[in-house]
Amino acid sequence: MANLKVPREKIPWSPSIDTGRCIHDRECIDFCKNNVFDWDDALGVPVVARPYNCVVGCDACARICPSEAISFPPMDEFKATLRRLIAQAQQQAPAQPAEAAPH
């Protein structure tokens, strides 16, 4: 993805877990190579321990979860939010110096 100039912590993209649907198979823990999840030993369910490790736009863990316990923000809503954040970042960016006119 292009350099969005938006800090990752401001981008609302990470999984949510419906622990009531979870069948405790640890598929998401084994699957996610970005270490987004930790396992809660007491409850026997995954927790989203490092949400900002999640790759923006990636929802692969939701697709591998056999019980559809993992969800992400609705894509249309997320895209609108991302456009707004990018516009804000562009407004806050220092103005680029004008290019020198050719001689």
Interacting residues toward ligand SF4 by CB under 6 A: 17, 22-28, 46, 65-67, 69-70
CB of 3 to ligand SF4, least distance (A): 32
Comparison of 7 and 66: residue with beta carbon closer to ligand SF4: 66
CB of 11 to ligand SF4, least distance (A): 22
Provide the pairing of β-strand 45-48 with 37-40: antiparallel
Residue holding tokens 């998401």? 28
CB of 46 to ligand SF4, least distance (A): 5
Q: How many C-beta neighbours within 10 Å does residue 28 have?
A: 23
Q: Are 54 and 13 in contact (CB under 8 A)?
A: yes
